[in-house]
Amino acid sequence: FGNRNNNDIERLQNLPAVPVDDRAAEVSQAVLFSGIVGGCVAINAFGGLFGMEDLTPITNLVVGIAITTVVVDNFFDAIVMGGSAVAKMNEDKLPAGAKNMSAPQKEDMPMGIGTGSMTGSVVRGLSRLLNVNTERDCQCEAAAVFAAYSLGLPCFAFQPNALEGASLVIDSMRSEPRTDDDAQNIQGSLDNLASDSGLLKMLIWLLAPVAMELSKYPQLMSSDPCEAQGFVNRLSDQARNNMQYASALLDALPENEEQTNDYLRWALAEADLLLRNNKNIVDALSKALAGGAATVGDCVAILEEW
């Protein structure tokens, strides 16, 4: 990967960054928001049984503020557009003073409300908690299976993760005694993945679900782009803590954060290209998985176009 020609360098410079999301924080904020609103609603509904009627005005206020903030923060443009349309339709009925009034600008709203920055993570977290999309999950699984099968990776390919990827690289480096002189051979029964090309294969597999989901949806729900970075981090830890594999891993791993980002961007682009060039096969595989009755043999038949 380090020996790139001018065309590769130009292509790399034009590649988009790998998307990132903080899904743990989004889910935790959504759970907190749901807990507060749910608690207030529960007090309103059952407070009378426990002598908590005095809290009802407070809980109503909390629920009203919370819901209003979420709605205005995330649907500000729609609210302004709808309000302007209604005002224009009834312009002749408006008081003279109201006719000259204009809708507030998003930039002038306090605390950035209207931009989605205040409660956007709560909405995204609620989407993650409430979203169940089997078709979307199967599309990501099909992308991972096709990438792993095409790249010759001996792994459980449906749901890529950093731990399995790092374990596969380490397993491919395990030494086995030679039959002739009992010398140690760093190449075991698997192809050694501790190389530039080996790491790129693993990253393409890890990012294939991300590439698939990005090509169809605006938000990542079923795939996790952090797995690829986690894979690199796990191998870096192994290189520091396991002297047996340190030399080979350090030669293969990116040297710094900038090169790591280059690896990730390149792998995402290659995964996207691989899936687009084989769209019909991947779509057929995702439909078979979504049907719920496909066997491993059925998947292989689709991959081999039997």
Which range scores top for mean pLDDT: 114-118, 201-205, 216-220, 221-225?
201-205
The Cα 145–Cα 296 span in angstroms is: 11
| Average pLDDT value over all residues in the chain | 84
The Cα 208–Cα 35 span in angstroms is: 35
Residue 159 has what pLDDT? 86
63 and 37 Cβ atoms separated by less than 8 Å: yes
- Distance of CA 100 to CAs 77, 95, 106, 157, Å? 20, 9, 19, 62
Cα within 13 Å of Cα(92), Cβ side? 1
The token duo for 233 is: 């981090």
pTM here is 0.76
The Cα 204–Cα 296 span in angstroms is: 22
Of the candidates 264, 149, 158, 266, the one whose C-alpha atom is nearest the C-alpha of residue 209 is 158
pLDDT single digits (tens) 73-123: 888 788 878 877 777 777 777 676 666 667 677 677 776 677 777 788 888
- Rounded to 10 degrees, what is the CA torsion of 59, 61, 62, 65? 160
The Cα 283–Cα 286 span in angstroms is: 5
Query: DSSP letters of 55-121?
Result: GHHHHHHHHHHHHHHHHHHHSHHHHHHHHHHHHHHTGGGS-HHHHT--PPPGGGSGGGTTTTTTTHH
Residue 123 has what pLDDT? 84
Residue 242 has what pLDDT? 80
The domain limits of the chain are 23-130, 134-303
193 and 231 Cβ atoms separated by less than 8 Å: no
User: May I ask the CATH architecture of the domain 134-303?
Assistant: Up-down Bundle (1.20)
Residue 143 has what pLDDT? 95
What DSSP designation does 177 have? Answer: E
pLDDT single digits (tens) 253-273: 888 899 999 999 999 999 999
- Percent of the chain whose pLDDT exceeds 90: 33
The Cα 78–Cα 73 span in angstroms is: 11
Mean pLDDT of 19-26: 83
When comparing pLDDT for 178 and 5, which is higher? 5
Residue 243 has what pLDDT? 82
Report whether pLDDT(187) > 90: no
When comparing pLDDT for 109 and 147, which is higher? 147
H-state helical runs in the chain = 6-14, 23-46, 56-74, 76-89, 96-99, 120-130, 134-151, 162-173, 196-214, 226-241, 243-252, 257-277, 279-291, 296-303
Going by pLDDT thresholds of 50, 70 and 90, the confidence category of residue 184 is very low
**Residue 290 phi, psi dihedral angles, 5° rounding:** -65, -25
pLDDT single digits (tens) 284-300: 999 999 998 888 888 88
